[in-house]
Amino acid sequence: MQKLAAVIAGTMLLMACGSEPKRETLGGPVAEKAPAGKAGEPAGNLYLTLETDMGDIRCKLFEKEAPIAVERITKLAKNQFYDGLTFHRVIPNFMIQTGDPTGTGSGGARGPGFPFEDEFNPNLNFDVPGRLGLANPGIRDSNNSQFFIAEQPVPHLNGRHTIFGDCTGLAVVRKIARVRRDERTDKPLVPVKIKRAAVERVPPGS
């Protein structure tokens, strides 16, 4: 009887522990997990919105296809890393690039987790406008905080840059790409800033 009572008590304890809401962090305050989707995955899509001097650019993030990139970039965004940074390289009919605190194209985030590895997915290519990709110096697994938004298909970047999202607001991208710039460095003559980089999860059907 004592053994039976112990088994019942242990089972009740496991059930009680399992009923506690699980919590997680993503570079910000501890928050409740989003409602679970299939196989316990968060329901809904994760978005990064860049609020710029020239309008908003909203990007759906590819959590399944590029989980490391999404985790690193959203953590930086939630820690306000991108707020106040400029688009340091803009090229019409190609792309706009940001994410360097020095504004030169040679800087980036420092500390654990940087640089990080490439994530290439055979089902994702630079075959449509608005792809969100990680910038790198041409060395494998050298990703940092810099990223770019392609204005149009750029197939020559396939297999060279991790794709971790897809952006709308391409009218804003085109506008930024066409500001007056230094023809030698492609840096805008008048800075175009990210006022705020916001991360949000949008429930299904919203």
Can you give the pLDDT at residue 183?
95
CATH fold for domain 31-202: Cyclophilin (2.40.100)
- What is the chain's Cα-based Rg? 21
pLDDT: which is higher, 177 or 21: 177
Question: Could you tell me the CA-to-CA distances from 11 to 19, 20, 21, 22, 31 in Å, in that order?
Answer: 13, 15, 18, 19, 28
**What are the residue ranges spanned by the domains of the chain?**
31-202
Please state, in angstroms and rounded to a whole number, the distance separating the CA atoms of residues 118 and 61: 16
pTM over 0.75: yes
- CA neighbor of 44 nearest in space, from 53, 32, 57, 34: 34
| Percentage of the residues of the chain whose pLDDT score is greater than 70 | 80
Can you give the pLDDT at residue 2?
42
Can you give the pLDDT at residue 204?
83
Pairing of strands 147-150, 131-134: antiparallel
For the segment 49-70, the average pLDDT, to the nearest whole number, is 98
